[in-house]
Amino acid sequence: MRRIFKDPGWLDAWLTLEVPSEIADGQGGATITWVNVAGLWGAVAPVSVRPGEKAAVAAATLTHRVTIRVRDDVLRGMRFSWQGRVLFIEVVSDPDESGVYLTCQCREMAP
């Protein structure tokens, strides 16, 4: 497979990688909080927008492709914080299987 080369200067978005953590609420349930794992550079590119509604309020689902340098700890179910926005990671892949970059397909809910 052909190797993808990207100029490191292309990774111009500062992202915070976060992981969910459950904290017991004392009544048999749990509250999910998000814990920062790392700050890293990446590239964020919009992919699509799908109009919809949530709880009878107009909302849209936006998808983004986030490219970062390869890391072993990036998994589906984590999220990125970026410019006050939250991007939930749905798919993680190494597009050319070179072990250099990861591409994350992310979902953002917008009001």
Q: Which residues of the chain have pLDDT under 50?
A: none
Residue 56: per-residue pLDDT: 61
CB 60 within 8 A of CB 51: yes
The residues near 56 (Cβ < 8 Å, ≥ 6 apart) are none
Give the largest CA-CA distance in the chain: 54
Buried b (16+ CB within 10 A) or exposed e, 20-37: eeeeeeeeeeeeeeeeee
Query: What length is written for the chain?
Result: 111
Amino acid present at 107: R
Which residue ranges form the domains of the chain, and what is each CATH number?
A: 13-110 (2.40.10.270)
Q: Residue 9 — φ and ψ, nearest 5°? A: -70, -15
Residue 84: per-residue pLDDT: 92
pTM recorded for the entire structure? 0.82
